[in-house]
């Protein structure tokens, strides 16, 4: 009890510290703006990775539908929140124009005399929640047939589901809602990394609380041994669906955040490669570790978007060799690192453990001890 | 006076062309300890799997506290292949998943220990308490159910103390010695607050001393938790010691039943056991 | 009326059969590996793509060799194609075996999820390496001019003109499959394969060299993928690093549809998927020819030509999880 | 073992962070850092795809910029001679990679951005440029949505409505077509946008259209071409990337498609010429520049391409001058003009004057209207000569 409370205080103060640091860093002129980009994308991927971990790591359901649910969340968000004044331009290739309007919200906001900043935040939150709920609803629907399937069949069925969703969203008959395969834009977006960090932190906190609750134990029981879990009175279908729906809800929110991050939205990038990317983040972080997924997300995004970019453009650290370090080399190095982790460090960074102050201290204490022995 | 807790009627379990249980009927009365024995491959575990809903019986019905909880008759392809009897006796089809059976008050242990590998001893037992919770997923995540959670933890602690597992409660379940793992499985089953406990070879792998301890342990929990116990076992000493009544099956068929002495002297039983070993060697 | 409808449908069906044959050759690799290792070899589609790239690069580098030997440009090209075909087959098989050895063998006792993740990682690696090597651009397959002279000739079936490879593909596929079925049914190694797919551990106890059997499986799978790649890219003459992903997934679905582990099942499934997908692409046209769609109305079926495969997958998994020819496995409690 | 690994990993991270700090310096420090001996540097960012579906086109556009940079590596601001450093970022032809690629240019301290080939990525990166206050010059992104409603995105090429109309005029005038088949790629703004504009114009001219679209990664176009054939369309319009174009050309030759294939500026590439060579196909494209339009540029560019194997392979293996290369070349000089006009390397100053910059380049006179679009009223129509494997000039075509 005492130990876990100590950890909680530690973790919360760590989160608070990070927030303060981010706010300070973002406001210092001259600090590399790439840092802010990495924080934004990293926090979004952290949320999506943790939600995938809830399913794959904690419940033992190997689902590859993450990109599909993100797509649902992203589109719902965009379609709901584009201001009516911009719709005509956005839906310019759709004969019927946009079938959705946000006048209901604008009327309420005007009626309440909300200042623009507040109403903007409000519609963003409504849009995100709607995105999460739509994703959750579809996951419930698809969960009815596919959750009965065993491991790899489930994986391939959810992968297929994501592809189906992508095709539906590109269908021109749905143009008045989805704008067909054309780009959606002009929806409200965030400017600072504080917004996605806050949203992700709240969502991840909820997931952590869930994992540590009696439901979380039931999920882990299903992962460890389905038959024993069932014999202990845990309804498999119900709990699997619950994990699936909750995971998809947060994937939907993550998708909405990703739409904001990208400023524009199209269905094309939400393909299986995106799911694989998130899965690999989960693997690097450690399947079954929330803090692992978070650390891995930030590491992955910083490395791929920032630190290793030099590998593509001929200059990296002290090496200058345009013939070898050309376009695509970064991703080759990256995938080799991933394969090494998958093959030789199968537990990833954290294994199934979580970041904790006691373990942190023990780590150094033991290490010191070792050093003493050596010397 | 002796009230039925569990009653099987004409249960037949057929996998493809193989009849694993053939027209088996038996009953377990309240407060009794009843054993199910038979040579290897006789279909004992299959009986447990049928009772707990893991397998759907091909034909027959299961009653719990005189209420029909499972019932089936040959359907579809099985209609033609069915090799058993009494195909028309059970018109109803009642199917329940194992968790529903457990929530009725029937808990079980497994022959090949199935603990939750990644969890500690304490968590293993606590997880079994999940079934009894009344709060929904949101209130649990937001910790609005803290009273219930605390109760569950306290009860788990008591249970561990009673079974002598409190000193290892923070250890990983799979790191325990074999015998303790068996006790943990029983503790986990007890955590669901059952009325009927199904034990699948609880003494497998134990030495004579341990087996003796287990015998008295089972008797004591029966009294303490007001249980009825249905047990599959190979250790004859334990069976003879503990059982109020014994059922013997071979090739899925009931070949004998009665109090220990009767069964011990039954020609059919002796033949079944010796016969099999002859063929084996 | 029906004559017109038939001539409208025919080209779709023909290209469906052709692409179905190519899917079939990939699907066999999936179904055999899954049958034995219970592993979806996500990298299989990429092996197929790499086979295409090997063809391109080896042809480019070998043609000058023959020219230096004094052959005319024309014949140098043809010799080079023939030599390249051999190189493609050999290198693709080597790649398949290497992947098995490096990425799957070390994880043989690991949980299934780990192996699958490793497969996804390999696929990721191959695609990224291909992007690096090709510079991310589509590479034209050597079919032009005198190259692949016989396969890419035009022939006329009914009223449609198609490449000869379209007709050759299904025939070659069926011949290869017959040979493979014979191999599995009649030879010793085939028997070992069947044993391993039934029960991994017991086979090992019975003295079967399981690792050898698995290697043979990967050998056959990669070989057929290379043949499939030759046929596929002769038809669709350009290779991109992601060329293998979709055909790979579709071939896997075909394998599931036909009943995973069953070679004839995979072939039947592949043809069904190939034909359905192509008909779907032309369904708007067919329906308006038939008079069902009037006044230029279209539904946009083509949008769902890829998604259809997955709809089919989900339906088959829900209705008959074992596929058309699959066998049922029950878990023991 | 684990611990050592963890420590090594942590050390690597710190190291990487530190080295990046040095490698991607802040805009102010940039000049001094990269160029020793007090040389002043102004940075131009090139936001182009080097991989993905539009990789081939993006590389050719980049070549034009590279060539221009090598020809004119310095710019005079006031009295100071500044070195022009070109920074490249690959947007992977993909909208989800675009914002980070754009951000990497900004964090490298670019004063102005050129690109991108492909409208979708330009739209996706637009807000990133806007937020940082840097101006961007679209080289060949023709979708109206790129410049519309903002003050930082300019472009030197014509727009889809213009190009669509030109092509529709061509179809109905030159080929007397009354029914057109339009094949676009799902999720590609360039493709769907141009397809839409063509349809509008063609229907206004009294024609009818059959529209279909294909999924990304589709390799089998025979089904689509069959539809075009059996619907008896007089012309096929396929505004696609060159990747798909190769396959469309190859397969329409096999299917014996006799009607002309029409396409927009993307098809003006030697990839198309190579695919069409020796085949029985008729291909017509509209484009920005006709090889031979400026002999000095053509010869210089060809020599430059032939001198370097990497350039040659980036240009698709031969020395054909793609229109996008010429456009890239011009864009670079427009950027230099803007820097000169601003009199500083400051991105805000450049943005303010960019709208009023005029320049006469190899592709003609470049002048911006109030939305930031180039004022252009002619396009060049070319046809692929399947025997020589070169473009034949057809004519200049305007809207009327």
Please write the tens of the pLDDT for every residue from A189-208.
988 888 999 999 999 999 99
Structure tokens at A65: 């539908």
Question: What does the angle CA A120 – CA A126 – CA A129 come to, to the nearest 5 degrees?
Answer: 140
Q: pLDDT at residue A41 above 70?
A: yes
> If you search the block for the tokens 């490793």, which residue do you land on?
C118
Q: What is the DSSP letter of B257?
A: E
Tokens of D192: 């769907």
Residue B149 lies in a domain: yes
Quote the CA–CA distance of A280 and A267 in Å, as a whole number.
22
Say yes or no to pLDDT of B280 above 70. Answer: no
Q: Is residue A328 part of a domain?
A: no
Q: Which of D97, D99, D146, D160 to mutate to test the interface with A (most CBs of A within 10 A)?
A: D99
- Helix C112-134 vs helix A329-344: angle between axes, to the nearest 10 degrees? 160
C and A: touch, per 3+ CB pairs < 8 A? yes
The residue-averaged pLDDT of D195-224 equals 89
Cα gap A259→A179, rounded to integer Å: 15
Question: What is the reported pLDDT for A362?
Answer: 64
User: Do the domain assignments include residue A171?
Assistant: yes
How many Cα atoms sit within 13 Å of D222 on the Cβ side? 30
DSSP state of B266: -
Q: Report whether A76 contacts A256 (CB < 8 A).
A: yes
Please state the rounded mean pLDDT for residues A228-257.
95
A215, A220, A234: residue with CB nearest B99: A234
Residue B140, domain CATH: 3.40.50.300
Instruction: Say yes or no: D219 contacts chain C, CB-CB below 8 A.
Output: yes
> Residue D34: its pLDDT value, please?
43
Confidence at A333, pLDDT banded by 50, 70, 90? confident
Per-residue pLDDT, D118: 84
What does the alpha-carbon distance between residue A194 and residue A192 come to, in Å, rounded to a whole number? Answer: 5
The predicted-structure confidence for D107-161, as pLDDT tens digits, reads as follows 888 999 998 888 888 988 988 898 889 999 999 888 888 888 888 999 999 888 8
DSSP-assigned states of every residue in D115-152: --SSHHHHHHHHHHHHHHT-EEEESS---GGGTTT-SS
B124: pLDDT confidence band, cut at 50, 70 and 90? very high
Let me know: does D366 contact D360? Beta carbons within 8 Å: yes
Higher pLDDT, A157 or C261: A157
CB–CB contact B45 C330 (8 Å)? no
Q: What is the pLDDT of residue A30?
A: 67
CB contact under 8 A, A266 and D90: no
Indicate yes or no: CB of A224 within 8 angstroms of CB of B130.
Answer: no
**In degrees to the nearest 10, what's the CA dihedral of D150, D154, D155, D156?**
150
- What are the CA-CA distances from residue A249 to residues A113, A129, A160 (Å)? 31, 8, 19
Q: Which residue has the higher pLDDT, D328 or A4?
A: D328
pLDDT (mean) for A230-242: 93
Whether residue B131 is contained in a domain is answered as yes
**Binary contact (B102, A229; C-beta < 8 A):** no
Could you give the percent of chain A with pLDDT greater than 70? Answer: 89
List of chain B residues whose C-beta atoms are within 8 Å of the C-beta of residue A225 = 114-117
Q: Which residue has the tokens 């529209």?
A: D211
Of A49-53, A310-314, D261-265, D282-286, give the lowest mean pLDDT range. A310-314
Contacts made by residues A22-27, CB under 8 angstroms, sequence distance 24+? A22/A193, A22/A194, A22/A197, A23/A194, A26/A192, A26/A193, A26/A194
Domain span at residue C79 reads: 2-319
- The pLDDT value given to residue C290: 80
| Contact yes or no for C242 and D212 at CB 8 A | no
User: Does residue A45 lie within any of the structural domains?
Assistant: yes
In this prediction, residue A3 carries a pLDDT of 56
Mark out the alpha helices in chain A (DSSP H runs). Answer: 2-27, 33-53, 66-81, 84-90, 103-111, 116-146, 151-170, 175-178, 194-211, 214-224, 226-231, 236-262, 272-285, 290-305, 329-344, 357-374
Nearest 5°: phi and psi at B14? -120, 125
The beta-carbon neighbor of A233 closest among B103, B119, B142 is B103
CA gap B109, B90 in Å, rounded: 29
| Per-residue pLDDT, D30 | 36
Closest-CA distance, A364 to chain C, in angstroms, reads 31
- CA-nearest residue to C277 within chain D is D223
Cα C158 to Cα B229: distance, rounded to the nearest angstrom: 77
Nearest to D217 by CA among C134, C242, A277: C242
Does residue C221 form part of some domain? yes
Between CA A52 and CA A59, with CA A53 as vertex, the angle to 5 degrees is 105
pLDDT tens digit sequence for D166-187: 999 999 988 899 999 999 988 8
Give the DSSP H or E segment for D300.
Answer: helix D295-306
Higher local confidence (pLDDT), A133 or C137: A133
> Mean pLDDT, 10 residues at a time, over chain C (333 residues)?
78 87 89 85 92 91 84 80 91 95 89 88 92 82 59 70 79 89 88 84 84 91 92 84 88 88 88 91 84 78 87 86 69 47
Q: CA angle A29-A32-A36, nearest 5°?
A: 95
Q: What is the pLDDT of residue A180?
A: 84
The DSSP line for C231-295 is HHHHHS-EE-TTTTHHHHHHHHHHHHHH-TT-HHHHHHHHHHHHHHHHHHHHHHHHHHHTTSS-T
Count of domains observed in chain C:
1
- Give domain status of residue A43, yes or no: yes
| A353 pLDDT higher than 80 | no
pLDDT, mean of residues B94-122 = 92
User: How many structural domains is chain B composed of?
Assistant: 1
* Low-confidence winner among A303-312, B97-106, B226-235 (lowest mean pLDDT): A303-312
**Mean predicted lDDT score pLDDT of chain A:** 85
**D400, pLDDT greater than 80:** no
What is the average pLDDT across A333-355? Answer: 84
Please, what is the average pLDDT of chain B? 88
Collapsing DSSP to helix, strand or coil, B228 comes out as strand
Interface B:D, ≥3 CB–CB pairs < 8 Å: no
Determine the length of chain B: 281
Taken in order B161, B165, B166, B172, is the CA torsion positive or negative? negative
Residues 6+ apart with CB under 8 A from A262: D95, D96, D98, D99, D124
**D274 vs C140, C154, C236: nearest CB:** C140
Chain C, window 105-134: residues with a beta carbon less than 8 angstroms from a chain A beta carbon: 106-107, 110, 112-114, 116-118, 120-125, 128-129, 131-133
Residues from chain D that touch C138, judged by Cβ atoms under 8 A, are 56, 242-243, 246
Q: Collect all residues from B whose CB is shorter than 8 A from any CB in C.
A: 15, 45, 49, 54, 110
Query: In the B/C pair of chains, how many CB contacts fall below 8 A?
Result: 5
User: Could you identify the residue written with the tokens 């693709």?
Assistant: C92
- Rounded Cα gap, residues A267 and A167, in angstroms: 8
What DSSP string runs through A189-246? Answer: ---STHHHHHHHHHHHHHHHHHHTSHHHHHHHHHHH-HHHHHHTT--HHHHHHHHHHH
The separation between CA A276 and the C-alpha centre of its own chain, rounded to angstroms, equals 12
pLDDT at A354 over 90: no
CB-based contact C307 A164, cutoff 8 Å: yes
- Closest CA–CA distance from residue C62 to any residue of chain A (Å): 23
Residue C113, pLDDT score: 83
Q: How confident is the model at residue B195 (pLDDT cuts 50, 70, 90)?
A: very high
Contact residues, chain B to chain A, C-beta under 8 Å: 52, 54, 97-100, 102-103, 107-108, 110, 114-119, 123, 126-131, 133, 137, 140-143, 145, 149, 152, 188-189, 191-192
Q: Is residue C330 part of a domain?
A: no
pLDDT tens for each residue of C62-98? 888 888 888 887 778 788 888 889 999 999 999 999 9
Q: Any residues with CB less than 8 A from the CB of D336 and at least 6 apart, and which?
A: D72, D75, D84
Whether B116 sits inside 8 A of A225 (CB atoms) is: yes
- Asked whether the beta carbons of B106 and B51 are under 8 A apart, the reply is yes
Q: What's the Rg (C-alpha) of chain D?
A: 22
- The pLDDT tens digits for C175-192 are 998 999 898 888 888 888
DSSP D385: E
Q: What is the pLDDT of residues D20-64, one digit of tens each?
A: 443 443 333 333 344 445 678 999 999 999 877 788 889 899 999
The Cα-based distances of C41 to B267, C30, C31, C35, D251 in angstroms read 57, 6, 9, 11, 31
Q: What is the DSSP string of B146-176?
A: HHHHHHHHHHHHHHHHHTT-GGGTTSBGGGS
Listed by number, the residues of chain A in 206-245 with a beta carbon closer than 8 Å to a beta carbon of chain D are none
Residue D16 has pLDDT above 80, yes or no: no
> Distance between CA atoms of B126 and B136, rounded to whole angstroms?
17
Q: Is residue C9 part of a domain?
A: yes
Q: Residue C262 maps to which CATH number? A: 1.10.3470
Residue A64 lies in a domain: yes
Q: Which residue has the tokens 């470049």?
A: D366
| Interchain proximity C135–D50, CB inside 8 Å | yes
- Measured in degrees and rounded to the nearest 5, phi and psi for residue B169 equal -65, -25
User: pLDDT tens for residues B227-278?
Assistant: 999 999 888 888 888 999 999 999 888 998 999 988 888 888 888 876 644 4
Tell me, yes or no, whether B141 lies in a domain: yes
Residues of D in contact with C285 (CB under 8 A): 226-227, 230-231
pTM: 0.89
Residue B127 lies in a domain: yes
Give domain status of residue B177, yes or no.
yes
- More confident of the two residues D190 and A279: A279
Q: Residue B26 — very low, low, confident or very high, per pLDDT cuts 50/70/90?
A: very high
**What residue numbers bound the domain in which A173 lies?**
33-268
For D230, the closest of C235, C237, C285 (CB atoms) is: C285
Does residue A219 surpass a pLDDT of 70? Answer: yes
Q: Is residue A371 part of a domain?
A: no
Query: Which residues form the domain of B170?
Result: 112-193
- What residues in A contact B52, CB-CB < 8 Å? 231
Q: How far apart are CA D153 and CA D263, in angstroms?
A: 26
Domains and CATH numbers, chain D: 42-158+307-367 (3.40.50.2300), 160-287+379-397 (3.40.50.2300)
Of residues C210 and A356, more confidence is placed in C210
DSSP D260: P
Question: Would you say residue B173 lies in a domain?
Answer: yes
- Write out the DSSP string of D302-359: HHHHHT-HHHHHHTTSS----HHHHHHHHHHHHHHHHHHHHTSS-HHHHHHHHTT-EE
Residue A88 included in any domain: yes
Cα dihedral value D311, D313, D314, D317, nearest 10: 110
Residue of D139, D245, D232, D140 whose CA lies nearest to D185:
D245
Report the alpha-carbon distance of residue C280 to residue C311 in Å, rounded: 13
| Contact between D174 and D139 (Cβ < 8 Å) | no
Helices (H), B60-201: 78-81, 98-104, 121-128, 137-141, 146-162, 178-191
Distance of CA A246 to the CA centre of its chain: 13
Report how far residue A309's alpha carbon sits from residue A276's, in angstroms, rounded to the nearest whole number.
21
């Amino acid at each position: 009890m005492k130990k876990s409370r100590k950890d909680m205080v530690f973790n919360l103060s760590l989160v608070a510290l990070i927030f303060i640091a981010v706010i300070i860093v973002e406001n210092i002129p001259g600090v590399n703006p790439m840092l802010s980009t990495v924080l934004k994308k990293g926090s979004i991927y952290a949320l999506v990775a943790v939600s995938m971990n809830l399913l794959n790591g904690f419940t033992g359901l190997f689902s590859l539908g993450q990109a599909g649910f993100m797509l649902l969340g992203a589109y719902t968000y965009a379609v709901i929140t584009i201001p009516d004044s911009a719709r005509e331009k956005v839906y310019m290739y759709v004969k019927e124009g946009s079938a959705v309007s946000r006048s209901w919200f604008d009327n309420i906001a005007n009626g309440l005399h909300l200042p623009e900043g507040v109403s903007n935040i409000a519609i963003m939150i409504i849009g995100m929640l709607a995105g999460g709920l739509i994703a959750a609803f579809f996951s419930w629907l698809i969960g009815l047939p596919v959750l009965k399937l065993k491991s790899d069949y489930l994986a391939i069925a959810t992968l297929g589901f994501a592809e189906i969703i992508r095709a539906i969203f590109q269908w021109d008959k749905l143009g008045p809602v989805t704008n067909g395969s054309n780009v959606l834009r002009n929806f409200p977006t965030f400017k600072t990394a504080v917004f996605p960090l806050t949203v992700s932190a709240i969502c991840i906190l909820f997931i952590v609380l869930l994992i540590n609750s009696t439901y979380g134990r039931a999920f882990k029981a299903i992962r460890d041994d389905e038959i024993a879990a069932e014999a202990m009175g845990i309804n498999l279908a119900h709990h699997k669906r619950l994990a699936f729906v909750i995971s998809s809800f947060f994937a939907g929110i993550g998708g909405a955040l990703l739409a904001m991050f990208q400023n524009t939205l199209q269905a094309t990038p939400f393909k299986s490669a995106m799911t694989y990317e998130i899965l690999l983040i989960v693997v690097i972080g450690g399947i079954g570790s929330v803090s692992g997924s978070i650390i891995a997300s930030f590491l992955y995004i910083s490395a791929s978007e920032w630190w290793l970019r030099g590998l593509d453009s001929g200059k990296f650290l002290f090496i200058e060799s345009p013939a070898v370090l050309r376009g695509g080399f970064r991703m080759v190095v990256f995938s080799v690192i991933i394969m090494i982790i998958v093959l030789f460090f199968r537990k990833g960074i954290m294994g199934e453990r979580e970041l904790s102050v006691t373990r942190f201290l023990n780590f150094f204490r033991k290490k010191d001890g070792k050093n003493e022995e050596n010397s | 006076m002796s009230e039925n807790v569990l009653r099987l009627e004409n249960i037949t379990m057929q996998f493809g062309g193989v009849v694993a249980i053939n027209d088996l009927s038996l009953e377990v009365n309240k407060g009794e300890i009843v054993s199910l024995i038979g040579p290897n491959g006789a279909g004992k575990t299959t009986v447990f799997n049928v009772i707990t809903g893991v397998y759907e019986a091909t034909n027959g019905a299961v009653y719990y506290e005189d209420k029909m909880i499972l019932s089936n008759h040959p359907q579809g392809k099985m209609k033609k292949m069915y090799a058993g009897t009494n195909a028309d006796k059970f018109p109803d089809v009642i199917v329940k998943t194992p968790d529903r059976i457990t929530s009725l008050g029937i808990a079980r242990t497994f022959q090949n220990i199935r603990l939750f590998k990644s969890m500690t001893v304490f968590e293993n037992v606590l997880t079994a308490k999940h079934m009894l919770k009344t709060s929904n997923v949101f209130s649990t995540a937001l910790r609005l159910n803290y009273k219930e959670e605390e109760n569950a933890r306290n009860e788990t602690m008591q249970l561990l103390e009673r079974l002598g597992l409190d000193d290892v409660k923070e250890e990983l379940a799979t790191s325990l010695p074999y015998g303790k793992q068996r006790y943990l499985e029983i503790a986990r089953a007890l955590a669901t607050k059952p009325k009927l406990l199904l034990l699948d070879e609880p003494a497998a792998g134990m030495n004579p001393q341990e087996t003796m301890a287990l015998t008295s342990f089972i008797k004591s929990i029966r009294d303490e938790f007001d249980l009825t116990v249905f047990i599959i076992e190979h250790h004859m000493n334990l069976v003879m010691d503990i059982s109020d009544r014994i059922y013997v099956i071979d090739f899925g068929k009931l070949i004998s039943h009665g109090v220990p002495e009767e069964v011990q002297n039954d020609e059919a039983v002796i033949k079944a056991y010796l016969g099999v070993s002859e063929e084996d060697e | 009326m029906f004559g017109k409808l038939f001539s409208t449908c025919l080209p779709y069906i023909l290209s469906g059969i052709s692409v179905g044959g190519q899917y079939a050759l990939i699907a066999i690799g999936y179904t055999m590996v899954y049958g034995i290792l219970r592993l979806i070899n996500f990298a299989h589609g990429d092996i197929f793509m790499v086979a295409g790239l090997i063809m391109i690069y080896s042809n480019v580098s070998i043609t000058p060799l023959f020219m230096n030997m004094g052959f005319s440009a024309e014949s140098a090209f043809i010799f080079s194609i023939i030599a390249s075909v051999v190189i493609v087959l050999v290198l693709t098989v080597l790649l398949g075996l290497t992947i098995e050895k490096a990425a799957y063998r070390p994880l043989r006792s690991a949980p299934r999820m780990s192996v699958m993740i490793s497969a996804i990682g390999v696929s990721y690696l191959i695609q990224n390496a291909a992007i690096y090597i090709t510079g991310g651009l589509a590479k034209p397959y050597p079919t032009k001019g005198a190259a692949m002279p016989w396969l890419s000739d035009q022939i006329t079936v009914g009223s449609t003109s198609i490449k000869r490879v379209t007709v050759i593909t299904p025939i070659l596929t069926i011949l290869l499959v017959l040979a493979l079925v014979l191999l599995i049914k009649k030879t010793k190694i085939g028997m070992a394969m069947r044993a391993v797919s039934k029960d991994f551990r017991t086979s090992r106890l019975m003295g079967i060299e399981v690792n050898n059997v698995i290697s043979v499986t990967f050998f056959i799978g990669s070989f057929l993928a290379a043949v499939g790649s030759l046929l596929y890219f002769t038809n669709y003459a350009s290779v991109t690093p992601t060329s293998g992903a979709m055909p790979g997934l579709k071939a896997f679905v075909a394998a599931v549809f036909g009943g995973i582990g069953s070679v004839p099942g995979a072939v039947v499934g592949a043809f069904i998927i190939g034909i359905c997908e192509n008909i779907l692409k032309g369904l708007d046209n067919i329906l308006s020819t038939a008079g069902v769609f009037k006044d230029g109305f279209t539904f946009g079926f083509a949008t769902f030509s890829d998604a259809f495969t997955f709809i089919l997958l989900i339906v088959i998994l829900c209705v008959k999880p074992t596929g058309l020819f699959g066998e049922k496995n029950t878990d023991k409690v | 073992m684990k611990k050592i690994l963890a420590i090594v990993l942590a050390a690597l991270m710190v190291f990487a962070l530190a080295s990046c700090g040095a490698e991607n310096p802040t805009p102010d420090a940039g000049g001094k850092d990269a160029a020793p001996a007090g040389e002043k540097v102004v940075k131009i960012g090139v936001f182009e795809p080097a991989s993905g579906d539009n990789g081939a086109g993006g590389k050719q556009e980049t070549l034009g910029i590279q060539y221009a940079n090598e020809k004119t590596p310095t710019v005079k601001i006031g009295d100071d001679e500044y070195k022009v450093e070109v920074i490249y970022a690959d947007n992977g032809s993909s909208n989800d990679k675009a914002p980070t690629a754009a951000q990497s240019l900004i964090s490298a301290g670019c004063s102005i951005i050129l690109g991108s080939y492909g409208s979708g990525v330009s739209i996706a990166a637009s807000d990133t440029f806007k937020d940082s206050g840097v101006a961007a010059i679209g080289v060949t992104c023709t979708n109206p949505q790129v410049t519309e409603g903002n003050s930082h995105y300019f472009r030197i090429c014509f727009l889809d409505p213009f190009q669509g109309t030109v092509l529709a005029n061509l179809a109905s005038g030159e080929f007397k077509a009354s029914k057109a088949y339009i094949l676009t790629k799902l999720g590609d703004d360039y493709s769907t946008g141009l397809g839409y504009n063509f349809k509008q114009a063609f229907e206004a001219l009294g024609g009818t259209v059959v529209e279909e679209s294909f999924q990304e990664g589709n390799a089998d176009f025979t089904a689509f071409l069959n539809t075009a054939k059996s619907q008896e369309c007089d012309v096929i319009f396929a505004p696609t990337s060159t990747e798909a174009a190769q396959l469309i050309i190859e397969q329409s030759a096999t299917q014996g498609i006799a009607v002309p294939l029409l396409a927009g500026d993307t098809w003006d590439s030697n990839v198309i010429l190579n695919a069409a060579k020796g085949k029985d196909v008729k291909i017509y494209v509209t484009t920005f520049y006709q090889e031979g339009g400026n002999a000095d540029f053509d010869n210089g560019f060809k020599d430059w391409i032939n001198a370097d194997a990497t350039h040659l392979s980036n240009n698709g293996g031969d020395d054909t001058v793609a229109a996008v290369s010429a456009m890239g070349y011009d864009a670079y000089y427009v950027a230099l003009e803007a820097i000169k006009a601003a009199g500083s390397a400051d991105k805000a100053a450049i943005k303010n004057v960019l709208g009023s910059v005029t320049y006469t380049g190899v592709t003609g006179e470049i002048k911006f209207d109030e939305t930031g679009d180039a004022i252009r009223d002619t396009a060049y129509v070319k046809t692929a000569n399947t025997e020589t494997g070169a473009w034949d000039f057809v004519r200049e075509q305007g809207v009327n």
